[in-house]
Amino acid sequence: MTERFVVPVHAERTYEVIIGRGLLGDLAERLEGSQRVAVIHPGALRASADAIQSDLVDSGFEVILLEIPEAEDAKTSDVAAFCWNALGASGFTRSDSIVGMGGGATTDLAGFVAATWLRGVRLIHIPTTVLGMVDAAVGGKTGINTEAGKNLVGAFYSPWAVLCDVTALETLPENDLRAGLAEVVKVGLTSDASILVDIIERTEECLNTQGDLLPDLIRRAVQVKADVVSEDFLETGGKDGRIGREVLNYGHTFGHAVERLENYRWRHGAAVSVGLMYVAELARLGGRLDEDGYQMHVKALGALGLPVTYPAGRWDQLYSAMQVDKKARGSLLRFVVLDGLGAPAMWEGPDPTLLVAAYADISA
């Protein structure tokens, strides 16, 4: 029986991220004061949405289920408009609530709908993937994709609670589990090396959805994210010159470029894995990260079977994709790099020869 962990996050409101098993019985209590509840979910979770609907109806709520497309197909203005129209048709008021249940794309979309309907209604997230639990559903970044790029339209809008029921992971495809753990490796590298030790030395347990180590790893990764977001919710910079929320973009500059080149067919975590290797190599070549620190990237990502190389011959496309990434400022590329494990820093405008050399070293 997994313990129940509670991690508080302090943003524009303080809320709890709960990690454990059998959490959905808590939902009705957290929705008290609402008359209507809209559950936004992908088709693959229809049975769970039906179960939530019948529980909530028994508790006296009016429930509408809003089924949306899977994965990134959910994050469009058309899908947001479909939700707004359904809320309008059901007379959804400011005291009513939205529940976002699904992976990161679902909770991003549900968060955006909650932020914009009547300028903000109550929002509860029920993430059902590792990526959603440790990253997307925590921290209040919501948004949709447009022609101009991913996540360029959105709002910072925190949920009232995040319920990470790890039983949902039991039916997750193993590749999604491994890819989600790339974000856990990321926070291990930047902020909590004990996570890396467990991933390298207890890999099988980390991948066991019925064991106790996976929920504990999720707790530790959520704790890192909660601390970062509580210090720098709006990504304007941390205290005392610390890097702040941008640390969460470790590995993402190159990772987003890979996702773009692969037309978003790669799992986000797989692209982040390659991105982590690229930036570790960049920092190693630049004399910032030592060999042991570099090897921790190889060992942790390798243990999970995540990709650590990328095909050669694509530098021009990768470079231009990195330049349109929203982490670029002006014409200078900016990378979160490590000066050692647990010692993240910003590196603005690394020498172009290093940028090319790091790609050559991680390309297969």
The set of catalytic residues is: 119, 141, 183, 225, 235, 245, 249, 252, 256, 268
Residue 104: CB minimum distance to ligand GLY, A: 9
Instruction: Give the count of residues interacting with ligand GLY (CB under 6 A).
Output: 5
Q: Which of 245, 260, 267, 284 binds ligand GLY (CB under 6 A)?
A: 245
Residue 139 or 286: the one with the smaller Cβ distance to ligand GLY is 139
Q: Which is nearer to ligand GLY, 200 or 243 (CB)?
A: 243
CB of 141 to ligand GLY, least distance (A): 5
Q: Least distance in Å: CB of 336 to ligand GLY?
A: 11
Q: Which is nearer to ligand GLY, 34 or 253 (by Cβ)?
A: 253
Shorter beta-carbon distance to ligand GLY: residue 154 or 350: 154
Task: Sketch the per residue contact string, 119 through 158, with ligand GLY: x for CB under 6 A, - otherwise.
Answer: ----------------x---x-x-----------------
**Residue 248 binding ligand GLY, by CB under 6 A:** yes
Question: In this complex, which beta carbon is closest to ligand GLY, that of residue 57 or of residue 152?
Answer: 152
Site for ligand GLY in 291-330 (CB under 6 A): none
User: Which of 87, 106, 89 has the alpha carbon at shortest distance from 43?
Assistant: 106
Structure token digits, residue 164: 């990470």
**Minimum separation from the CB atom of position 64 to ligand GLY (A):** 28
Q: Does 336 bind ligand GLY (CB under 6 A)?
A: no
Which residue has its beta carbon closest to ligand GLY? 248
Name residue, tokens 């979770």: 45
Residue 344 makes contact with ligand GLY by CB under 6 A: no
- Rounded to the nearest 10 degrees, what angle do helices 213-231 and 193-201 cross at? 160
Least Å distance, CB 4 to ligand GLY, is 24
Whole-number minimum distance, CB 248 to ligand GLY, in Å?
4
Residue closer to ligand GLY (CB basis): 31 or 336: 336
Contact set with ligand GLY (CB under 6 A): 135, 139, 141, 245, 248
